Structure 1
């Protein structure tokens, strides 16, 4: 693929994540094209259907989280890596949930998205274990519990108007509750 085509594709995906991640199915491919600075034909050349575009945006979202988690796991102490990853997943979770719900009109989640979700969960599990080994997170905490808390705050921020500082404090409460030093 030519460099300009790769750049167009990346801009289209970034804008698709923004448009469909906030507007869901009501978002339009025309809006994605306009915001990406390309024609609608360019969007459809890369992604023949709106559903394929949304699925690709969701996969991009997972890939970016996996890359971020991998970088955190190698570049940061385990406690900071865990806290940063949980915070990032909650802050971007509303977008992921909106993208995924736009695709759930199907009978099942697309295989690529399910596989990407599984890869992310494996990385989150590794980072959780590292934080537990560093005595930063309670040893009894499971990745399923962490995911439930992440999803709860992400779902709340996706469905109700939440001020950023309120979400930030709520994340602090969750992280304090998971902490080894908590009650």
Structure 2
């Protein structure tokens, strides 16, 4: 399995060594390093999709969305591979399809949470990565700073009397 701290930059040799198998075994199961990384990332995205879907029937939709976002940012905080996906550096078609499914699952939460009319599931997913990226430089000294940023962000998702700025 790719090193969560290194993300897509980990070598196949390192992956094989950590798994206790030979490099050839890795390539018998995955044609390329990109296919291996895609399989791992797809599993991680499926975990986030499952987390979103599990919260769709919650009695408090806003709390369910917040729980999902907290879970998502927490997963990002410990996994460089997910950050690589968020930044677009993993472009495997299976991963891109999983990203779309994640956006759809997040949209189901958004639809129930009574957020601002212009907020989408894709926005929520990208904003979760933004929260992580904003706090990442201070991860070693303030590991829970992302929670503060998520609190600030979450408040901004709800409808206000001020109109939203125009989309770019």
Shorter-chain-normalised TM-score: which range?
0.7 to 0.9
1:175 and 1:131 map into 2 onto residues whose CA distance is: 11
Out of 141, 155, 161, which is 2:133 matched to?
Answer: 155
2:32 and 2:106 map into 1 onto residues whose CA distance is: 32
Number of residue equivalences = 156
Instruction: State the Cα deviation string for residues 140-162 of structure 1 (Å, max 9, x = none).
Output: 3411543442232133345x232
Q: How much has 1:23 moved relative to structure 2?
A: 1.4
Structure with higher helix content:
1
Contact 2:116/2:160, CA 8 A, preserved across alignment:
no
User: When the two structures are superposed, what TM-score results if normalisation uses the length of structure 1?
Assistant: 0.70
2:102 and 2:128 map into 1 onto residues whose CA distance is: 13
> 2:117 corresponds to which residue?
140
**RMSD after superposition:** 2.9
Instruction: State the Cα deviation string for residues 3-61 of structure 1 (Å, max 9, x = none).
Output: xxxxxxxxxxxx32xx1x42144312232233334333332222132111111112112
Choose 30-39 or 59-68, whichever is displaced more.
30-39
Choose 168-177 or 68-77, whichever is displaced more.
68-77
The answer as to 2:83 corresponding to 1:97 is yes
Out of 111, 124, 148, which is 1:129 matched to?
Answer: 111
Structure 1: gaps spanning 5 or more residues: 1-14, 133-137
User: When the two structures are superposed, what TM-score results if normalisation uses the length of structure 2?
Assistant: 0.75
1:100 and 1:47 map into 2 onto residues whose CA distance is: 23
Cα gap change, 1:114 to 1:76, in 2 (>3 Å): farther
Q: Would you identify which runs of 4 or more consecutive aligned residues in structure 1 move more than 6 Å?
A: none
Cα gap change, 1:53 to 1:146, in 2 (>3 Å): same
The answer as to 2:10 corresponding to 1:27 is yes
1:157 and 1:56 map into 2 onto residues whose CA distance is: 27
